[in-house]
Structure 1
Amino acid sequence: MEFINFLKFLWKHKNLLIIIPLVTVIISFFLVKNLADTYVSKSQIATGIIDESRHLLDKETNSSAQQQQIAQSFSNLIEIMKLKKLINQVSYQLILHDLTSNTPFKKPSKLFQGMNQAAREHAIEVFKRKFQRMEPLDYYNKDQNGLNELLREMKYDERNLREDLNIVRDEDSDFISVSFQSANPQLSAFVVNVLCREFINYYTNTIRQNETDAVTFLGNLLNEKREALNRKTAQLQNYKIENGVLNLEEQSKGIFDQIMVYNDRKQQAEKDVASNNGALAAINAKFDPKDRSYIEATLNKYNTAVVGTQEQLHALTDRYVRSNFAPQYKVQIDSLTRQLEREINLTSDKYITNPLTGKDALVAQKITLEVARDLAKYGLNAIDRALGELNAKFNRLVPFDATVKTYSFELDIASKEYLEVLNKYNETNLKSTFSIKLRQVDLATPDAAEPSKKMLLIILAGMGALVICVVILFAIYFFDETIKLPTELVAQTSLPSLGYLNTVTGGTLDLRKLWDVEHRDKMKHFKELIRSIRFEIDQELKGEKVISITSLAHHEGKTVLALSLAYSYSMINKKVLLIDGNFYNPTITNTAQPHLYLEDYFKNTPSNYENVSGTTTVIGNHGGDVTLLELSDEKFISTRFAELKNKYDVIIVETPALSTLNKSKEWILFANKVVAVFEANKPVKKSQKEDLNYLRNLEGKFAGWVLNKASLPED
């Protein structure tokens, strides 16, 4: 609904929407008809960033490049190309061309034409020097500032060149496009070619210098790391030679293994000694002193042989242990062991024990156990000495191992640093050999003029004006708080509506003439609306007769409504009395020229009772600063209204506006229903809120609003 209303609002201002765009189109036509044709020259620069044929040796590195890195590389190249120093190079070349050529690119400016030969030569010298050194002009130097002013007048300065210069990457390709547009095709091609050449030279020299510095730095660093690695290697070798260290890890491992073997043998020997001592203790407990002396006396000769064999066995066992258990000693030990067993058995066979006892076997067993125990004890001592020697050797290796590990750790760090720098050096050297090499794929050439955009500019100007008008009208419509519809009036006042009246232009207050004009559609619609309002008022009156017509402000249309209602009621054969209660503006009185006036009728004098006849339809007033209750008291006025109700079917009273305070409210005291008129296309003011509250407090006495001069469809 709001959109439809907005369209209606636009249609109401259709002349504005037609005239303004039309005027804009006409003005645009005269502005653009003399515009010069534009010529665009374009060139492309191959970067090699994503060209696989130029990354054969570093393909692996290039394949891992992410799209973001590639986009960043192109962005860096484009921003370098837009550097002020490069644009200045183009400016210098342009002005030098115009200063030295008979066919300049542009028409000389006033400052250019005013230069004499000496000034030209000086300008050429300065511009050449600035171009060779890639230096900007010094604005604080009076001489150079004048040359800069010359560039601005010729529009060769950086700001003007940037406006027509376009540098972009061609979608996802490997090329950067450079284009320039101007009114001279030679100028466009010249700017593009100079900028591409200067950019390639600047970038190439910068990259080459950076790569050379990087390779030189890494080369020097590589030599330092190589020398440090050689020093650490020589230091470790000298230490090993000076201390006789061959392979500490293998040596320490061998000694440790021997210590473990001797520990095992020691545990076994200790076990044998303990077991043999226990067995001997048990055997000794079975002999008494007499048996022992007998045995020692009889076996002395054979014991001597056993003891000698035992000593040989002890010496051989000692050599066996010291030789780290060499196998050849094991054979000799086994032979002596068997010999010792035979000698022990011989003592058992040749001599017997005391006949009184049967302990000869125990004696032989005892001797065998004693021999085994002694062998185990002597072997234990030899093992302890060997363990002491091995532990001493192992302890001597500990400080050597710590020092060697320190040297080895330092050597390992130096080696890693050297390899890292070497890899970086090789990588940088390779990249410097196959680094990105920019090249201008094709030279910019003068091209034909671009298709004329004059018609497009004219159309855009017209459409832009139309859009601006629509936007402005929309803003006016959106922020417009004026009331145009009865529903809006009801929404803002919270009071009911009886209907509305359309605008009738060129009318007259002669009701008969207005009512009889049949050929005017607006008048027909007006009559239908009056009839509708009359019907709604009848429904509200419910047999009552007095209708008071008021408004919030003056000149809202009360008189037209009152006269129209009076005439409409007379058309249905009702006796109607129209009272002009508006002392402030007695329009009805001035129009109807009645014979009876309020000041005469409502005065409490006997002579006035006969002044009203049944045929009187209008009671006027003399105007002035007077109110109803100032004419007579409330009781007498009520009596007068009662007489009028007996004579007339409908009594219509036009009252002053509510802004007159009590002047309107005094009339409303005697009315049965109150009708308020509100003129359309006006807002409800904040100052009128008190009057609205008054109407709300009337409750059932207020019949409703009549929206006057509304612009609504008739169907």
Structure 2
Amino acid sequence: MELVSFLKVLWKHKNLLIIIPLVTIIISYFLVKNLADKYVSKSQIATGIIDESRHLLDKESNSAAQAQQINQSFSNLIEIMKLKKLINQVSYQLILHDLTSPTPFKPYSKLFLSMNAGAKKHAIELFKGKFQRMEPLDYYNKDENGLNELMRSMKYDERSLREDLLIVRDEDSDFISVSCESPNPQLSAFVVNVLCREFINYYTHTIKQNETDAVTFLANLMDEKREALNRKTAQLQQYKIANGVLNLEEQSKGIFDQIMIYNDRKQQAEKDVASYNGALNNIDNKFDPKDRNYIEATLNKYNTAVVGTQEQLHLLTDKYVRSNFAPQYKAQIDSLTKQLTQQINLTSDKYITNPLTGKDALVTQKLTLEVSRDLAKYSIVAINSALNQLNAKFNRLVPFDATVKTYNFELDIASKEYLDVLNKYNETNLKSTFSIKLRQVDYATPDAAEPSKKMLLIILSGFAAFAFCIITLFVIYFFDDTVKQPAELVNQTNLPSLGYLNAVTGGTLDLKKLWDVEHREKMKHFKELIRSIRFEVDQELKGEKVLAITSLAHHEGKTVLAISLAYSYAMINKKVLLIDGNFGNPTITNTTQPRLYIEDYFKNNPDNYEAFSGATTVLGNHGGDVTLLEVSDEKFIRSRFNELKTKYDIIIIETPALSSLNKSKEWILFANKTIAVFEANKGVKKSQRNDLNYLRNLNEKFAGWILNKASIPEG
């Protein structure tokens, strides 16, 4: 529905939609017909960023490069090419060309023509110096600012050149395209080639210098880290030499293993001593004290030999323990043990025991056990001595271990730093060797003129004007809150509608003339709408006879509706009384010139008035600042209305507008139904809210709205 309404607005303004774009097209034609032709020169720069043939040694690292990194590399190159200092280099070359060449790229400007030979020579020297040093012009220097104005007058300044330059990457390729558009093909090619050359030189010098600085810095840093690593290594070596430390971990492990072995042997020796003592106690209990004295007296010389052998065995056992149980001592111990066994057996061969007793075997066993016990006891002493020495050595290694670990920790850090710097140095050195090498693979050359865009500009101007008109009309339509259809009036007032009337141009208020022009379609349609309203009014009256016609404001069309509705009722043989109740603007009275007036009929004693006659009667008023209840009181007026109801089938009252306050409400007081006229293409004002509330409070007494002068098509 909204779209249809908007299309109606467009159709209403169709002439505007045709004229404005047409005028715009004509103006555009005269503006663009004298435009100069444009010449575009293009060049390509190969970057080598994604060229596999130029990344043979660093192919692995290049293949791992992500698309984002590649895009960043191209973006950096393009932004470098757009640097102000590089564009200035092109500007200097352009102005120097025109200053030194008899065939300039552009016609000389007024400022250029005003220069004498000395000024030109000075300008050439200054521009050459700026070009060689890649320096910008100082705008705060009067002399240099004047030269800058010279370039601006020739459109060679940095801002003007940027407008004609286009620098982009060719899709996903390895090339960067540089193009320039100008009225001169030689100028376009010159700008592109100079910019590419200066960019390649600047990038090569700058990037190589940065790479060289980076490699030099990393080389110096690598030397420092290597010296630090060597210094830490030498400190560790000197400490180990000074303290006799070879390998703390192996040494401590060996000492610990020896301590565990000695502890095991000590436990075994203590166990042997305990077992030997137990066995000797059992043997001693079997001997008589007298036999013991006899044995000790008899075996004295044999015991001396045994004791000597035992001493030798003790010394050899001590050496065996101290040598960490060396195998060579084991053979000697076994030999002495065998000799000691023979000496003990020799004591048993002599009949030195009491022949009356059979205890010679016990004596031999006892001597053997005593020797074994003594060996075990002595070995315990030797083992304890060795354990003490081993523990002392182990404890002595503890501070060495802490210091060596500190040195090792510092050495690890120094080694890691050195390796990191070495890897970074190798990587940077490799990248610098195979860094990006820019090449201008396609030089710009003067080309033919570009296809003319004049027709396209003219067409676009027409479309732009047409679109502007459409948008303007849409904005007006969107913010337009005026009432154009009965449904809109119902939505804004929350009151019902009975119908609408179309706009009548050139009409008259003469009843017969208004209805007799059958050949005019507007009048025919108007008559059909009046008939429809008459039917709706009859449905609302339901046998009642008094109908009041009012409006929110003056000049809404109450008079036309009242006259037309009265004549419509007369056409169906109804006796109609039309009352002009608008004292302030008695249009019906002035138009019809009635014989009867309200002031005469509604007097308290109106004895002198002409009798009502005819099918349609008009009751006018003399006008003036007067109201109905000032003419007579309510009771009398109501009685007069009752008389009129007996004489007429329908009584139509045109009341003043509701903006006149009580003047309209006094007439509505005596009406059975009230209808209100609202002129189309007007909005409901905030000041009319009280009047709308009044109509709503009438409830069933208010029949509905009549939208007047509506632009609603037939059908």
Q: TM-score range by the shorter chain?
A: over 0.9
Deviation at 1:361, TM superposition (A): 4.7
Report if aligned partners of 1:614, 1:647 keep a CA contact under 8 Å in 2: no
SS at match of 2:124: helix
Q: Work out the CA distance in 2 between the residues paired with 1:178 and 1:132.
A: 23
Confirm or deny that 1:709 pairs with 2:709.
Answer: yes
- Corresponding residue for 2:337? 337
Q: From the superposition, tell whether residues 123 and 641 of structure 1 become closer, same or farther in structure 2 (CA, over 3 Å).
A: same
Within the alignment, does 1:56 sit opposite 2:77 as a pair? no
Change (3 A) 1:705 1:400: closer
Return 5+ residue gaps in structure 1 as ranges.
none
Deviates more, 1:193-202 or 1:297-306: 297-306
Secondary structure in structure 1 of the residue aligned to 2:307: helix
Q: Distance in 2 between matches of 1:266 and 1:606?
A: 158
Shift of 1:496: 0.8
Contact 2:600 2:606 in 1 (8 A): no
TM-score (norm 2): 0.95
Residue 689 of structure 2: aligned partner? 689
How much does 1:643 deviate?
A: 1.1
Deviations 1:637-662 (A, max 9, x none): 11111111111100001000000011
2:457 is matched with 457
- Post-superposition offset of 1:295: 4.0
* Contact 1:486-1:499 at 8 Å conserved across structures: yes
Q: Which residue of 2 aligns with 1:24?
A: 24
Q: Letter of the 1:581 partner, please give it.
A: G
> Structure 1 residue 637 and structure 2 residue 637: aligned?
yes
What CA distance in whole angstroms lies between the structure 2 residues aligned with 1:202 and 1:690?
Answer: 80
Whether the 8 Å contact between 1:169 and 1:176 is mirrored in structure 2 is yes
Relative to structure 1, the CA distance from residue 407 to residue 661 in structure 2 (aligned partners, 3 Å threshold; closer, same or farther) is closer
Return closer, same or farther for 1:348/1:548 CA change in 2, 3 Å cut-off. Answer: same
1:636–1:393 Cα change, 3 Å: closer
Counterpart Cα distance in 2 of 1:340 and 1:402: 51
The 8 Å contact of residues 89 and 131 in structure 2, kept in 1 or not, is answered as yes
Q: Please state how far the C-alpha of 1:399 moved relative to its aligned partner.
A: 4.8
Question: What is the aligned partner in structure 1 of residue 143 from structure 2?
Answer: 143
Following TM superposition, by how much is the alpha carbon of 1:698 offset from its aligned partner in structure 2, in angstroms? 0.6
Which moves more between the two structures, 305-314 or 583-592? 305-314
The farther-off stretch of 665-674 and 269-278 is: 269-278
Return closer, same or farther for 1:410/1:672 CA change in 2, 3 Å cut-off.
Answer: closer
Q: 1:573 to 1:415 in 2, by over 3 A?
A: same
Q: Structure 1 residues 3, 299: CA separation in 2 closer, same or farther (over 3 Å shift)? A: same
| 2:576–2:615 Cα contact (<8 Å) kept | no
The answer to whether the 8 A contact 1:298-1:351 is kept is: no
Deviation for aligned residue 1:191: 0.8
Deviation at 1:403, TM superposition (A): 4.6
**C-alpha contact (below 8 Å) 1:151/1:157 kept by paired residues:** yes
TM superposition shift of 1:366: 3.0
**CA deviation string 1:507-541 (max 9, x = no partner):** 11122222222222222211111111111110110
Partner of 2:45, secondary structure, is strand
CA displacement 1:227-281 (0-9 Å, x = unmatched)? 3344444444444455555445444444443333222222211111122223333
Q: Match for residue 37 of structure 1?
A: 37
Note the alpha carbon deviations across 1:272-292, whole angstroms, 9 max, x for none. 112222333344344454453
* Offset at residue 443 of structure 1 (A): 1.0
Q: Distance in 2 between matches of 1:547 and 1:586?
A: 18
Q: Deviations over 1:450-496 (max 9, x none)?
A: 11111111111111111111111111111111011111111111111
Aligned equivalent of 1:14: 14
Q: Cα deviation per residue 1:87-132 (whole Å; 9 max; x = unaligned)? A: 1111111111111121111111111111111111121121111111
Write out aligned runs for 1:72-83 (5 A).
72-83=72-83
| CA 1:162–1:287: 2 relative to 1, 3 Å | same
Question: Cα RMSD over matched residues?
Answer: 2.2
Match of 1:367? 367
Conserved 8 A contact 1:17-1:466: yes
Q: Which amino acid aligns with 1:172?
A: D
Aligned partner of residue 179 in structure 2, secondary structure: strand
Structure 2: how far apart are the matches of 1:378 and 1:425?
A: 68
Distance 1:356 1:65 in 2: 110
- The alignment status of 1:266 with 2:266, answered yes or no, reads yes
The verdict on how the C-alpha distance between 1:357 and 1:484 changes in structure 2, with shifts beyond 3 A counting, is farther
Describe how 1:73-152 pairs up with structure 2 within 5 A: 73-152=73-152
d(CA) in 1 for partners of 2:511 and 2:140?
Answer: 86
Q: Which is further off, 56-65 or 444-453?
A: 56-65
- 1:507 aligned counterpart, secondary structure: coil
Aligned pairs (5 A) from 1:545-624: 545-608=545-608, 610-613=610-613, 617-624=617-624
CA distance in 1 between counterparts of 2:546 and 2:242 reads 138
1:200 shift after superposition: 0.8
Separation (CA, whole Å) in 1 of partners of 2:528 and 2:287: 160
Q: Which amino acid aligns with 1:621?
A: N
Aligned counterparts, 1:210-221, within 5 A? 210-221=210-221
Q: TM-score, normalised by structure 1?
A: 0.95
Shift of 1:146: 1.3
- How many residues in Structure 1 have an aligned counterpart in Structure 2? 715
SS in 2 for 1:167: strand
Q: Report what 1:168 is aligned to.
A: 168
AA partner of residue 47 (structure 2): T
Letter in 1 for 2:368: T
Q: Which residue identity is paired with 2:659?
A: S
Please name the residue that 2:278 is paired with: 278
How far did 1:323 drift? 3.1
Are the counterparts in 2 of residues 531 and 568 from structure 1 also a CA contact under 8 Å? Answer: yes
CA distance in 1, matches of 2:112, 2:328: 118
What is residue 319 of structure 2 aligned with on the other side?
A: 319
Q: What's 1:514 paired with?
A: 514
Shift of 1:212: 1.9
Distance 1:246 1:577, change over 3 A: closer
Q: C-alpha distance in 2, partners of 1:407/1:653?
A: 119
Per-residue deviation, 1:502: 0.9
Residues 578, 616 of structure 2: 8 Å contact kept: no
Q: CA deviation at 1:402?
A: 4.7
Q: 1:436 Cα shift?
A: 1.0
1:28-80 deviations in Å (ceiling 9; x for gaps): 11111111111111111111111111111111221221111111111111111
Partners of 1:34 and 1:231 in 2: CA distance: 82
> Cα 1:404–1:693, aligned 2, differ >3 Å: closer, same or farther?
closer
Amino acid at match of 1:227: E
- The 5 A counterparts of 1:620-699 are 620-699=620-699
CA distance in 2, matches of 1:616, 1:31: 70
2:467 equivalent in structure 1: 467
Query: 2-side partners of 1:204 and 1:103: how far apart?
Result: 33
Q: CA deviation at 1:611?
A: 3.9
Shift in alpha-carbon separation, 1:300–1:681, aligned structure 2, 3 A: same
Equivalent residue number for residue 157 of structure 2? 157
**TM-superposed deviation, 1:400:** 4.8
Residues 156-202 of structure 1 deviation map (CA, whole Å, 9 limit, x = unaligned): 11111111111111111111111111111111111111111111111
SS at match of 2:608: helix
1:225, CA displacement in angstroms? 3.1
The SS at the match of 2:676 is: strand
Q: 1:416 — aligned with what?
A: 416
Task: Point out the more displaced range, 8-17 or 357-366.
Answer: 357-366
Q: Which residue pairs with 1:385 in the alignment?
A: 385
Are 1:602 and 1:631, in contact at CA under 8 Å, matched by a contact in 2? yes
Judge conservation of contact 1:299–1:351 (CA < 8 Å) in 2: no
The CA distance in 1 between the partners of 2:220 and 2:606, in whole Å, is 135
CA contact (8 A) 1:601 1:611 kept: no
Q: Is the 8 A contact 2:534 2:565 kept in 1?
A: yes
**Superposition deviation, residue 348 in structure 1:** 4.6
Structure 2 counterpart SS, 1:607: coil
Structure 1: which amino acid aligns with 2:155?
K
Pair 1:405–1:581, CA change in 2 (3 A): closer
Deviation at 1:406, TM superposition (A): 4.3
Distance verdict in 2 for CA 1:627–1:323, change over 3 Å: closer
Does the 8 Å CA contact 1:166/1:179 hold for their aligned counterparts? yes
Per-residue CA deviations over 1:523-579 (Å, capped at 9, x if unaligned) read 221111111111111011011000000000000010111111111111111111111
